[in-house]
Copies of this chain bind each other. A is one copy, B any other.
Amino acid sequence: MCELLGMSANVPTDICFSFTGFLHRGGGTGPHRDGWGIAFYEAGGYRDFRDPHPSVRSPIARLISDYPIQSHIVISHIRQANVGGVRLANTHPFTREMWGKTWCYAHNGQLEAWQGLPLAFYHPVGDTDSEHAFCWLLGTLRQHFPHLPDANDTQRQACWARLHALCEELRSLGVFNMLLADGDYLYTFCSTKLAHITRRAPFGQAELSDAELTVNFAEHTTPADIVSVIATEPLTSNEAWVRMQPGELLVWHQGRIVARFTAEEKGADSPQ
């Protein structure tokens, strides 16, 4: 079982606190020894850092937890290999460019019969089920929407509904917990395990579950800040995390949920 960590915020925010707890699971408190990666969308673009070594011993992971990169969307992943050897090409997150945007993706779970998913524009570089599924997902979406959908609600909702349907197809092949982002929106899909928390004023204290560290968010934020964190398992021991439902897709923008698609309805719900 891999671990996923995502963040969506309305102000550039560093993820050092959550990442510190998260990376302890990479060979520290967890069994996820087969590499890790983290991707940042900053005001000026996208970058990621990936390492096929356990995160607790990685000099790059230490750099990231000490170097406060200010970001409004983050996707991170710690790997426990099942399909595909332990090497850099199999290390999440994966990226592709679509519609002039950098798309970033990380997957937790394992799929059956994924080799049959037909590929259009994008082809895997490594040999994991995860990257193949990503190439299929993005290529199929691009076939339906050759150009960036208009920001008007109808087009965008149609695109998100299609994305949800594709995620549901992947869930039917096995376990498919996913974080996906395009620089504007963060998409989180739950198959079995994903929880989230939104922090906003009045900010309190948070205690990491995996490392002896407490942070008083009030010291690091302004009253207007909204910061949401999404993870496989809750990262803090003293806050109330919300567990996502199987088949649920949430679309995040600037720390808020702006659309929700559920397994039952396969339609958009009213945004929060």
Partner of A125, one of B45, B59, B89: B45
Q: How many copies does the complex hold?
A: 2
Task: Give the distance to chain B from A215, nearest Cβ to Cβ, in Å.
Answer: 22
Q: How far is the CB of A147 from chain B (nearest CB, A)?
A: 10
Count chain B CB atoms within 10 A of each CB in A42, A90, A100, A121 and give the residue with the most.
A100
- B121 in contact with A88 (CB, 8 Å): no
Residues of chain B with a CB closer than 8 A to A87's CB: 43-45
A145 within 8 A of B: no
| Inter-subunit contact B100/A97 (CB<8 Å) | no
> What band does the interface of chain A fall in when counting residues whose beta carbon is under 8 Å from B?
20 to 34
The smallest C-beta distance from A36 to any residue of chain B, in angstroms, reads 12
Is the CB of A165 closer than 8 A to any CB of chain B?
Answer: no
In the complex, A59→B68 CA distance in Å? Answer: 11
- Decide yes or no whether A57 CB sits under 8 A from chain B: no
Choice from B49, B52, B85, B123 contacting A99 with Cβ under 8 Å:
B123
Shortest beta-carbon contacts, A-B, top 6: A44-B87, A45-B88, A45-B89, A100-B123, A44-B88, A63-B63
Q: Can you pick out 10 interface pairs between chain A and chain B where the beta carbons lie within 8 Å of each other? A: A45-B52, A45-B90, A45-B125, A46-B88, A47-B49, A60-B63, A60-B67, A100-B123, A100-B124, A121-B121
